Structure 1
């Protein structure tokens, strides 16, 4: 009986060790005060070689665009929309269209108007990572960025 139990545990352990959870994108957050009443929130994606994430501006029928949702608060308000640098634009067979995406790294920026105290900008982002052979399911990530 012990041998069967040990064999079962060995199979389970090897399965768990061999199972890889792909996380090709790492996110980092910062803020920078521009004045007493304004700041910019910086949201950086570092993307593993061979992978990419999509722009905020993707046509219908394409991949899941990167998007940002900021939680409302009395201590700040958003100023304009989240901006991004110029993306790569390329035809992708998977979607049968030109798509805009980022490789290696990208920094998204959101300006905020500061209303009181030391605000903490909270929200969530959604993105989808793909490589030349597959796309991972869209993922949501919550963030919290103090403005000092």
Structure 2
């Protein structure tokens, strides 16, 4: 019964995804060394919404996922990291889940393989929920390195 409720809950909210836009994304760059940079992707989350972590338990909401386009100009160093966030029991999913309120910061270190200017591009897939609905989301990002 729980799985049917969650499925109906998610499907019913998909229609609202065109109207609601509970997360705004922005990017910045921090030079770590001559060849390494931290790509910083910030989420500003509307009040009463939760954005979920990079890792969520099985049976939970969709995690936040960053997909970097392949490039011969750089390589990813390690895994994407995220702020501490909050971990609490979610009554809808009946699980302890890590989420963010108001804002979240994600970082990915890269190592350049070239000295020419380049752009790091990719996609963000995510889900936000409030007390009444969940909204799946999608956005693109582009970070220029001079």
- TM-score normalised by L of structure 2: 0.84
Query: Take 1:127 and 1:70, find their aligned partners in 2: how far apart are those partners?
Result: 15
User: Does residue 1:115 correspond to 2:108, yes or no?
Assistant: no
The aligned runs of 1:35-74 (5 Å cut-off) are 35-74=33-72
- Between structure 1 and structure 2, the one with the greater Rg is 1
Q: 2:124 matched to 1:125?
A: yes
Give TM-score, length-normalised by structure 1.
0.83
Indicate the residue corresponding to 1:139 in structure 2: 137
| 1:13-69 alpha-carbon deviations (Å, 9 max, x no partner) | xxxxxxx81111100011121111100100000001111100001010000000111
SS state at 1:74 partner:
coil
User: Size of the alignment, in residue pairs?
Assistant: 128
In the other structure, the counterpart of 2:15 is none
Q: Which has the larger strand fraction? A: 2
Match of 1:100 among 98, 101, 116: 98
SS in 2 for 1:112: strand
2:50 & 2:91 partners in 1: Cα distance?
15
1:80 paired residue number = 78
1:119 Cα deviation after fit: 2.1
Deviations 1:77-109 (A, max 9, x none): 100010001120111111011111000001100
SS for the counterpart of 2:134 is coil
Distance in 2, Cα, partners of 1:76 & 1:103: 32
Q: Which runs of 5+ in 1 are unaligned?
A: 1-19
Instruction: Give how far 1:111 is off.
Output: 0.1
Q: 1:33 aligns with which of 28, 31, 34?
A: 31
